[in-house]
Amino acid sequence: MNSSPVQHAAAKAEPAEEAPATEAAEAPILRLEDFLPHRLNVLSSLVSQALTRVYARHGIGIPEWRVLVSLGQFGVMTGKAIGARTHMHKTKVSRAVAQLERRKFLARRANRDDLREAFLSLTPAGRAVYEELAPRALEFTDRLSEAVTPADRAAFDRAMKDLTARSAKLVAESGGQT
C-alpha cells in the first residue's frame, strides 16, 4: 500500500514529536521550583501582593508605597537616594514621586546646588497616610513572621542578611549587569 506524500511526512514527524516526551522523562538539570532565585522571587511576589491590601485603598502601588515609607522613615531624601535604598530603577522612582506629588502626599523642593535634583518630603496628608499605614504594615509583618518559629527567627534574619549581602556582592562582581 502506497502512502501519499502528506501521510509520509506525517509518519516521519511522529518520532520527532515523541522525542521531547522522552527527554522530559530524564532527570532535569534544573528544577525551577527548587531553584533558590525563583523561590525567593515567588516569595517576594506573594508577600508584595498580600501587603498591597494594607495600602491599596489609598490608591498607591508598590513603588509609591516604598517612596512613602522611605520619606516617612528618613524625612527628606532625593529620588536618587530613594532608588538606592529601595533598589528601584530611577524611572520607577520618578513615576512614583510624580504620582504621590499629584495626590499631594509629597512635596518637592529644588536643590540650589544641583538643579537636576530635588529634595522630597511628605506633606501633612502624606505624613497622615504614613502614620495610618505604618502600624498596619507592622501588624502584617507580625502575621507573616508567624510562619517562622520564634526559635528560628534569629537564624532566619541572619540568613536574609547573608543572602542580601551575597547578592549585592554578586551584582558588584558582575559589574551590575544582569
Q: How many CB atoms lie within 10 A of CB 46?
A: 11
pTM (two decimals): 0.77
Does the residue 8 lie in any domain? no
Domain extent at residue 167 = 148-178
140 and 59 in a common domain: yes
Q: Which amino acid is at 118?
A: A
86 and 106 in a common domain: yes
Q: Residue 11 above 50 pLDDT?
A: no
Q: Which amino acid is at 126?
A: G
Rounded to an integer, what distance in angstroms lies between the CA atom of residue 166 and that of residue 26?
33
pLDDT, one tens digit per residue, over 141-168 is 999 999 999 999 999 999 999 999 999 9
Does the residue 82 lie in any domain? yes
Q: What is the mean pLDDT of residues 92-105?
A: 96
Does the residue 172 lie in any domain? yes
* Tally of domains in the chain: 2
CA distances from 106 to 21, 64, 67, 101, 123 (A): 56, 11, 9, 5, 5
pLDDT, one tens digit per residue, over 26-56 is 899 999 999 999 999 999 999 999 999 999 9
Rounded to an integer, what distance in angstroms lies between the CA atom of residue 107 and that of residue 129?
14
120 and 169 in a common domain: no
